Amino acid sequence: MKLYSLFPKGFWRRAKLATSAQTIQPGDPTLPQHVAIIMDGNGRWARKRDLPRTFGHEAGLKKVREITEECGRLGIPYLTLFAFSTENWKRPAQEVSYLMNLFYQSLQQVTAELHSQRVRIRFLGMIDGLPAKLRTMVKEVEAQTAANRGLNLNLAINYGGRSELVQAVRQLVKEAQEQSFAPEEITEERLAGYLFTAGQPDPDLLIRTSGEQRISNFLLWQTAYTEFYFTDTLWPDFGPAEFREALLAYKKRSRRFGGIKEGRVK
Ligand code: FPP
């Protein structure tokens, strides 16, 4: 009889997750300072259970809370979550409207709690394209939490990397016209100053759930040297234990940013 057949299904995976949980310590300086997540697989999670897709989004929201809390506990200063892309408007109107309501209601429910935990909430994306009620809420939440110095939580809603770059270039050109500076004076730093993430560090780690391995127009500029972690787990099944597993994987990466490993000459 094979040894592993003595154990219930999922035993070894749970044991591995429990081990990784123990090896990640809060405040570890080798943890990523900025984690970005493409929360994918809500629809498939619901379909597997013969439920409407909206149930998947509801279940996904619970994980947003869990992972946000875990980042706070571990002292990871920046977390960016991709909640709705500029391309997601192509979904059935009913699903889009469900998601907009979910964003509104969840912000209404959790902002006070996050605010008391000193979480600063910012939104990345074309906020003017959101329904008026949500737009107002977004501005209020940003203003209410602006002075907080705890976790920086970025929610990407109506976000697209290409449109972010286009709006940045437009502002840069306007600035160039008004202050008449030469094209040579346009630098990476100057352009980055017009991105939605201006002033924030680039993500060190990007996690995408559900088995897809693509960037889907997310943080195109900011992920130039980000480490990627892909998992087959669907977002509503992705909890703090697997999050810590992703952090462990990150800790083992060798980041060279185009250079060579320190001390190595050949
Ligand atoms: C992708 O899964 C998920 C989304 C487009 C929505 C994600 C939104 C949430 C988890 C709620 C977050 C709420 C706040 C306030 C941040 P999918 O629907 O594309 O899944 P599929 O690929 O299996 O169909």
Which of 198, 203, 153 minimizes the C-alpha distance to 34?
A: 203
In a domain? residue 149: yes
Contact at 8 Å (CB) between 144 and 111? yes
In a domain? residue 17: no
Number of domains in the chain: 1
pLDDT of residue 16: 63
In a domain? residue 75: yes
User: Is the C-beta atom of 47 inside 6 A of ligand 1?
Assistant: no
Average pLDDT over the chain reads 93
Q: Name the residue at shortest CA distance from atom 7 of ligand 1.
A: 83
CA 203 to ligand 1 center in whole angstroms: 20
CA 246 to ligand 1 center in whole angstroms: 20
> Rounded mean pLDDT of 47-74?
98
CA 235 to ligand 1 center in whole angstroms: 8
Residue % of the chain over a pLDDT of 90: 85
Q: Where are the beta strands (DSSP E) in the chain?
A: 34-38, 78-85, 120-124, 152-159, 205-208, 227-230
Catalytic residue among 28, 40, 101, 154: 40
Q: Is the pLDDT of residue 96 over 60?
A: yes
Q: Is the pLDDT of residue 132 over 80?
A: yes
Distance set, CA 109 to CA 61, 100, 240 (Å): 12, 14, 22
pLDDT of residue 19: 59
In a domain? residue 104: yes
Q: Is the pLDDT of residue 45 over 60?
A: yes
Which residue bears the tokens 């109107």?
Answer: 93
CA 120 to ligand 1 center in whole angstroms: 22
Residue % of the chain over a pLDDT of 70: 90
Instruction: Look up the CATH number of the domain holding residue 70.
Output: 3.40.1180.10
- Residue-number span of the structural domain to which 227 is assigned: 31-160+201-251
User: Is the C-beta atom of 40 inside 6 A of ligand 1?
Assistant: yes
Q: Is the pLDDT of residue 64 over 80?
A: yes
pLDDT of residue 1: 52
pLDDT of residue 20: 57
pLDDT of residue 263: 67
In a domain? residue 8: no
H helices of 75-121, in order, are 93-116
Q: Is the dihedral of CA 47, 51, 57, 60 positive or negative?
A: negative
> Rounded mean pLDDT of 45-53?
98
pLDDT of residue 5: 63
pLDDT of residue 15: 62
Which residue bears the tokens 């560090």?
Answer: 201
In a domain? residue 24: no
Which of 89, 91, 73, 70 minimizes the C-alpha distance to 81?
A: 70
Q: Is 88 a catalytic residue?
A: yes
> Rounded mean pLDDT of 245-251?
97
Distance set, CA 173 to CA 5, 45, 110, 190, 194 (Å): 65, 44, 39, 11, 11
Contact at 8 Å (CB) between 59 and 227? no
Residues forming a β-bridge with 159: 85
In a domain? residue 37: yes
> Rounded mean pLDDT of 150-179?
97
pTM over the 0.85 mark: yes
- E strand or H helix at 257, and its extent? none
Tokens of 238: 């992705």
Q: Is 40 a catalytic residue?
A: yes
Q: pLDDT-derived band of residue 79, with 50, 70 and 90 as boundaries? A: very high
In a domain? residue 6: no
